[in-house]
Amino acid sequence: MASVTLSEAEKVYIVHGIQEDLRVDGRGCEDYRCVEVETDVVSNTSGSARVKLGHTDILVGVKAEMGTPKLEKPNEGYLEFFVDCSANATPEFEGRGGDDLGTEIANTLSRIFSNKSSVDLQALCISPGEHCWTLYVDVLLLECGGNLFDAISIAVKAAVFNTRIPRVRVLVDEEGSKDIELSDDPYDCIRLSVENVPCIVTLCKIGYRHVVDATLQEEACSLASLLVSVTSKGVVTCMRKVGKGSLEPESIFEMMETGKRVGKVLHSSLQTVLHKEESLGPKRQKVGFLG
Amino acid sequence: MAGLELLSDQGYRVDGRRAGELRKIQARMGVFAQADGSAYIEQGNTKALAVVYGPHEIRGSRARALPDRALVNCQYSSATFSTGERKRRPHGDRKSCEMGLQLRQTFEAAILTQLHPRSQIDIYVQVLQADGGTYAACVNAATLAVLDAGVPMRDFVCACSAGFVDGTPLADLSHVEEAAGGPQLALALLPASGQIALLEMDARLHEDHLEQVLEAAARAARDVHALLDRVVRQHVREASVLLGD
C-alpha cells in the first residue's frame, strides 16, 4: 500500500495530538474528512459513483450482465468484485504491483456482500437455475490518501444505489421453450435497495486511543486497525483486524462501539446526499473530474 | 458498404458532425495532489486520465538506467467498465502493452530526455470511458500531465485520428466509425514544427489518398493544440492567482 515515511519527531507529534483529541488537520478522533460523492459519472455502465475522501479518490463502475446462477443458489443473482489498484495512485502499483492489495479489498467486499441481509440477491434472478443478473462491481483506485476501505465501501454503496438494471420478462411458448424479452422502455428498470448495505468504518489504534478516517500520515503511526462493517441501523455485519500489531480485547469492544456510532451517522449523511442528488433528476450538471 | 451510412449526402456524419469537425474537448490539469503532474480529458464520450511521476531515480533494476538521457516509462490501462462489454483485466493484455509502447515512442520524441540522464519519468494513462480515439485522448491527456509536472518538452504533442469514407477524410473517429472497419490513421504531431511524433495506419488505403487523410489528421491535431493551449494558459492563470502574483 502507498505509504509515507515519517521521522520519529513527526510521529510523536501526531500521537500526542491524538491523545488530546486533536489531530493534525484539526479534526477530533471521531470525525471524517469532507466526503465528495457523485453518481452516474461513467455513462456506459449500469451505475457508477466517484468518491473523494481527502486525497483518496475512488471510481466505481457497476455493469450488469446476464449469466447463470450458481449451483448452490439457483434463485439468486450475484455480485462480483474487482479492485484495480492502478498505477495512477502510486508507481508501486505499476504492472502487477497492486494485485495483492486489490485482491484483499475485493475479498473483504465480497465477504460483506455475501451476507443475505445486505442486498436482495433474489431480485437479480431472471429464471431460477438458468438465468440471473451478475453485477460486476469494478473499483478503480485513482489516488491513495489513507482510509481506502471506508472510501471504497461508500463508493460501492453509492454505485449500487445508482445502478439501473433493465427489466426483462421470461416468456414461455407452447412447446415449453423460454424466451427472454427486454422491456422496450429504457426507463423501465429494477433498482436494488441499498437500505441494508453496510459501510466499512476503519478504526486505527494510535497510542492509547483510536481514530476514524486516518490519513496516510496517521496510518503510518498506527500498528493495528479494526475494520467494522456497520449497517444504517448500527448493526455490525463483519469485523476484521488488519495491520501488523496486536490489539487488546477491551479496546476491540471500545472500537466496535465507536464504529457503530460513527457508522450510523455516516449512513444517514450518505443517504441524504444520494437522495438529494437523485431529486435533481437528469438535469443535474455533471461535474466528474472537471470540477 | 455496411447498412450504416457514415457520411450522409449532405455531408453529415452519424453523430451530426461535419467531416473535419472534432468532438467537444474538455480538459483539466492538476486533478490529483499527490502525483507530480496529472490531467483529465474528455473528447466526446472518451474520457482519459493521465498521471506523471518524475523525473526521479530509476526504480527497480539499476541496469535500466540510460547514461545519456531519461528513461520514459509508460503504462496504459483501461478501466474494466470503460468499454461496452466488460473487460476482464485493466492492463497487461496485448492491446494495452502495444498502446504503452506507442505512448513511450511518442513521448520520447517530445520530452527533452537528455536533460535528465540516469533518471526515469513515469507516465500512466487510464481510460475511464472508451468511445473511439483512445490513443489520441491518452496522448492529449499525457501532454497536459507532463506539462503540469513541469518536465521540459520540445513542444506539445497533439494527437488525433482520421478515417476515410467515400472519398472524404473524417477527423476524430468515434467508436461507431471505428467499428465500421474503414482505414484508420493515428497521428501525433508536434504542432510548432509540424513534425510527426507517431504515425500509424491500419487497413488498406490507396497511396493517392494518404496525403489527404494525413492533412485532415494534422489539421485536427492543430485544432486540438489550440484547445490544449487554452487549457494550459487558463491553468497557469488560475495557479498564479492562487500564488498571489
pLDDT for A2? 58
How many A×B Cβ pairs under 8 Å?
95
Question: Does B70 map to a domain?
Answer: yes
Any idea of the CA torsion for B144, B145, B149, B152, to the nearest 10 degrees?
-50
Residues of A in contact with B42 (CB under 8 A): 288, 290
Percent of chain A having pLDDT more than 70?
Answer: 99
**Residue B126: CATH number of its domain:** 3.30.230.70
pLDDT for A171? 86
Among the partner-chain residues B34, B75, B92, the one whose CB lies closest to the CB of A145 is B34
Between A184 and B133, name the one with better pLDDT.
Answer: B133
Angle between helices B134-149 and B94-110 (to 10 degrees): 50
Contact A290 B80 (CB under 8 A): no
Structural domain boundaries enclosing A200:
8-282
Question: Does B54 map to a domain?
Answer: yes
Q: How confident is the model at residue A172 (pLDDT cuts 50, 70, 90)?
A: confident
Contact A140 B122 (CB under 8 A): no
Q: Is the confidence at residue A95, as pLDDT, over 90? A: no
Q: Find, in chain A, the residue whose alpha carbon is nearest to that of B77.
A: A86
Question: Does B7 map to a domain?
Answer: no
Percent of chain A having pLDDT more than 90?
Answer: 67
Percent of chain B having pLDDT more than 70?
Answer: 98
CA dist A159 and B40 (Å) reads 21
Residue A47: which residues within 8 A CB-CB, separation 6 or more? Answer: A39, A40, A61, A62, A159, A160, A161, A162, A163, A164
pLDDT tens digits along A211-247: 999 999 999 999 899 999 999 999 999 899 998 899 9
Say whether residue B79 is in contact with chain A using an 8 A CB cutoff.
Answer: yes
Residues of B in contact with A65 (CB under 8 A): 86
Interface of B with A in 212-231 (CB under 8 A): none
Domain count along chain A: 1
Among the partner-chain residues B59, B79, B92, the one whose CB lies closest to the CB of A140 is B79
3-state helix, strand, coil in chain A (%, to 5): 30, 30, 40
Contact B45 A44 (CB under 8 A): yes
pLDDT tens digits along A107-143: 999 998 887 788 889 999 998 988 999 999 999 999 9
Give me the mean pLDDT over the A172-201 stretch: 86
pLDDT for B187? 94
Question: Does A111 map to a domain?
Answer: yes
Question: Does A233 map to a domain?
Answer: yes
Question: Does B122 map to a domain?
Answer: yes
Question: Does B127 map to a domain?
Answer: yes
Question: Does A258 map to a domain?
Answer: yes
Question: Does A73 map to a domain?
Answer: yes
Question: Does B97 map to a domain?
Answer: yes
Chain A interface, best mutation among B29, B34, B83, B119, by max A CB count within 10 A: B34
Say whether residue B12 is in contact with chain A using an 8 A CB cutoff.
Answer: no
pLDDT for B1? 47
pLDDT tens digits along B73-106: 999 999 999 998 898 888 888 999 999 999 999 9
Q: Is the confidence at residue A260, as pLDDT, over 80? A: yes
Question: Does B62 map to a domain?
Answer: yes
Between the alpha carbon of residue A85 and those of residues A2, A101, A138, B212, the distances in Å are 10, 7, 11, 43
**Residue A12: CATH number of its domain:** 3.30.230.70
> Hey, how many other C-beta atoms are within 10 angstroms of the C-beta on A180?
13
Residues of A in contact with B33 (CB under 8 A): 55, 143
Number of H helices, E strands in chain B: 4, 9
Q: How confident is the model at residue B150 (pLDDT cuts 50, 70, 90)?
A: very high
Q: Is the confidence at residue B215, as pLDDT, over 90? A: yes
Give me the mean pLDDT over the A25-46 stretch: 92
Give me the mean pLDDT over the B221-244 stretch: 93
Cell numbers representing residue A57 in the block: 479518490
Q: Is the confidence at residue B19, as pLDDT, over 80? A: yes
Residue length, chain B?
A: 245
Residues of B in contact with A288 (CB under 8 A): 42, 47
Q: Find, in chain A, the residue whose alpha carbon is nearest to that of B38.
A: A88
What residues in chain A have their Cβ under 8 A from chain B's Cβ atoms? 42-45, 48, 55, 57, 59, 61-63, 65, 82, 84, 86-88, 90-91, 94-96, 136, 138, 140, 142-145, 288-290
Question: Does A288 map to a domain?
Answer: no
Give me the mean pLDDT over the B169-177 stretch: 93
Among the partner-chain residues A86, A138, A143, the one whose CB lies closest to the CB of B81 is A138
Residue with cell 466528474: A288
Among the partner-chain residues B35, B75, B79, the one whose CB lies closest to the CB of A61 is B79
Contact B77 A65 (CB under 8 A): no
CA dist B79 and A61 (Å) reads 9
Structural domain boundaries enclosing B105:
25-243
Q: Is the confidence at residue A3, as pLDDT, over 80? A: no
Residues of B in contact with A94 (CB under 8 A): 73, 75, 122, 124
Q: Which candidate, B114, B121, B125, B124, places its Cα nearest to that of B82? A: B125
Q: Find, in chain B, the residue whose alpha carbon is nearest to that of A90.
A: B35
Q: DSSP H helical segments within A115-175, as ranges?
A: 148-162
pLDDT for B70? 94
Domain count along chain B: 1
CA dist A289 and B29 (Å) reads 10
Contact A65 B86 (CB under 8 A): yes
CA dist B172 and B136 (Å) reads 9
- B117, B70 in Cβ contact below 8 A? yes
Give me the mean pLDDT over the B61-74 stretch: 90
Residues of B in contact with A145 (CB under 8 A): 34
Question: Does B38 map to a domain?
Answer: yes
Mean pLDDT of chain A: 91
Cell numbers representing residue B181 in the block: 472497419
Residues of B in contact with A102 (CB under 8 A): none
Contact A44 B28 (CB under 8 A): no
Mean pLDDT of chain B: 92
